[in-house]
Amino acid sequence: MASNAPVGKPTDMSAPRLPKVAGIDSTVPAPPHTTAPLPGVPPAAPPSDAALPPGVLIQDRLASWVSDLTTLHELTERLIKTSSLDGALREVLGAGAALVGARRGMAVLEPADGLGPTSTIGLGLAHADLGTIETVPRGSGSCGRLLDGLPETDPTGADPTGADPTGARRPARVPDPIAIRDVRTEEGLDPRHREVAARLGYAASYALPLATEEAGRLGAAVWLYDEPAEPDERRRHLIGLYGRFATEHLARLLQVERARVRVATIAEELLPSRLPRVPGVRLAVRHRTGPQGGGDWYDALPLPEGALGLAVGSVSGTGPSALAAMGRLRASLRAYAVMEGEDPVAVLSDLELLLRLTEPARSATALFAYAEPAQRRIVLAGAGHAPPLIVGDHRTEFVETSLSAPLGMLTCWEAPSVELSPAPGETVLLYTDGLLRRTGDTTDRAFARLHAAAASVPGADRSDPGAVADHVLRALLPEGLDPAVEGEDVVLLAARFE
């Protein structure tokens, strides 16, 4: 395609080039302000020499095109492997630095619609350096001018919002990149801009809008040179092609991130806004959900005569439908708990009947416990759910519950309840299966790891149910729970009895 053809002849200030595909080493040495090319990425070939025979010129030109296309292919392959906005921005900065021949840079994510999220990522710049750059008046800095320049007034006088008199929506105009060859001599720069450049040791910059006509403005990236310089026309062409691809990838990640935030918000709104305060017991909960949203839930409900209802459960499926089903199931359980909470088997039997009649295609697991903190007495029943775990100074053991099918799996559900009496200072852990499955181990191995994690809670943390829950999570999931990674939800409810 003609748009992919390299144009112009690179200047001495451009980044060094690796050997072209024909194996001829570049004779242009690397200037001191440039960075080494990314490892494993074939660089562009050197320009042809007019003195060479025509056949050699054609071969050299073809080799240059192949090298350019290979470079873009390698860089875009790396980019599409990123799954988070910050990761993608870091990849864009690194790839752009190789393409324009710079050593440092920064990328700003600031969608034009104002719905966020926003972030700033640096390459070769410390957090304090980014803060120093942000002290430059927005209208003087290259990033600020690009961020404020879309949409902008079209030279023809057209509406900058992209609308025309007929009401049709036109693509917004994408601003041009901004090159400052020498900060010291560039006209119109704010004195603060020159001061910051001198303090951080950069002399030139090249800023690229992260924007396309379809995606609109998502942000901007700027690369900083240690000496007066600017990329030649060919490198501008390459970074322009890469920038358009990067913007589309960022737009897709932005949609995923916004969807994840909305799902997480809905899930949190369907769960208790705060845990109740009931004499004789202290509560803490840890809840994590995946990007699509799952059906794991928990509840803690004050009941008459100082009693407390504790519940955890999981609805099959993911996404909005699972969240809606989870909300209905939790609301129903609260109603049944108020009416007959002292009998957990009756509560779950009513819940099973409701689920079977209203949502026959869905199943769920649940555990409901009726607790009397003053007497340190708990009566509980489970439907296809993992058994609770008691953690104390003298014991760490699972509660022996009877095996039972999940709700909605049998024509009539019923299983015997279990009664237990926690000792003063002991903590009862209720959790969903996601805690075990997120470990990636087999079921038996996951249970063993959970038991070992609970048994290893430091003595100083045993008095705080939140600290107990945090320790268990760190031990089972040492790398944390990335909310951007699809997988099982995790719920861990801790109740410490005084």
pTM of the predicted model as reported, rounded to 2 decimal places: 0.66
What is the domain range of residue 229?
2-153+171-261
What's the angle, vertex CA 151, arms to CA 149 and CA 154, rounded to 5? 95
- The whole-angstrom separation of Cα 26 and Cα 16 is 8
Q: Are residues 222 and 358 in the same domain?
A: no
Q: Are residues 35 and 120 in the same domain?
A: yes
Compute the residue count for the chain.
Answer: 498
User: pLDDT per residue over 198-251, tens digit each?
Assistant: 999 999 999 999 999 888 999 999 999 999 999 999 999 999 999 999 999 999
Tokens, residue 448: 């063993």
**446-473 core/surface letters (b: 16 or more CB in 10 A; e: else):** bbebbeebbeebeeeebebbebbbbbbb
Q: Are residues 85 and 209 in the same domain?
A: yes
CATH number for the domain harbouring residue 465: 3.60.40.10
User: pLDDT per residue over 65-109, tens digit each?
Assistant: 888 889 999 999 999 999 899 999 999 999 999 999 999 999 999
Q: Are residues 149 and 119 in the same domain?
A: yes
Looking only at the bridges linking them, the beta strands covering 418-420 and 427-431 are unpaired
CATH number for the domain harbouring residue 129: 3.30.450.40
Query: Residue 272 — very low, low, confident or very high, per pLDDT cuts 50/70/90?
Result: confident
Q: Count the domains in the chain.
A: 2
- Of 222, 239, 261, the domain-final residue: 261
- The whole-angstrom separation of Cα 82 and Cα 112 is 23
Q: Are residues 433 and 460 in the same domain?
A: yes
Q: Are residues 349 and 476 in the same domain?
A: yes
CA distances from 277 to 232, 273, 285, 301, 338 (A): 67, 13, 13, 10, 17
Q: Are residues 352 and 230 in the same domain?
A: no
437 versus 60: the higher-pLDDT residue is 437
Q: Are residues 198 and 294 in the same domain?
A: no
- The answer as to whether 144 is a domain residue is yes
- The whole-angstrom separation of Cα 53 and Cα 216 is 46
Whether the Cβ atoms of residue 490 and residue 296 lie closer than 8 Å to each other: yes
Q: Are residues 333 and 203 in the same domain?
A: no
